[in-house]
Amino acid sequence: MLFQRNKGGDWLIVGLGNPGSKYWNTRHNVGFAAMDALADSLHARVDRVKFQGLTGTAELDGKKLILLKPTTYMNLSGQAVSAAARFYKIPPERILVMFDDISLEPGRIRVRKEGSAGGHNGVKSIISSLGSQAFPRIKIGVGAKPHPDYDLADWVLSVFPLSQREAMAEVYSRAAEAARAIVTEGCDAAMNRFNGK
């Protein structure tokens, strides 16, 4: 996918999840929850239907942020992301994606500049649609399957136990803080601040 460069420094920030109330507290929807925390911190709303998703806008440090929650279901997330990126002419290096990661324990986040999909179907769809994996991301830990034979789809679509929900709310706030740091300070500074915590 070819981009005409956006010289204004605008960012597209994406939280991944599945639409519908039955998915709300599931592990696969932590990207949506982190987006809600980010929008709250920026006094923004993500409720306008556009680009096969819910969108909103905010400003941070003089930069315009386009906030997006794709409503295509996870495996087709790239359709919404590429449509928004094309419209605003935002290159991959300013498309920040927040999503669940089973290799991290609940309560952990990890900032990365780029990388492969790592088996995550939403990220795989975005890489395919953009034709690039050079976009920053915030991985939000949801924990590994309880045992090897457990079905992965069942695991990521399961809900967090009540005992973990309060801790996860803090994680969403930290992911939102990391997103703001990536925009204002850059990925390297954000990785130094948030990785390993």
Catalytic machinery residues: 28
Cβ–Cβ < 8 Å for 143, 101: no
Cβ–Cβ < 8 Å for 158, 26: yes
Cβ–Cβ < 8 Å for 79, 129: yes
Distance CA 150, CA 147 (A): 6
Distance CA 129, CA 20 (A): 24
Write down the residue that tokens 């590429």 correspond to: 82
139: part of which helix (H) or strand (E)?
strand 137-141
Amino acid identity of residue 124, one-letter, is K
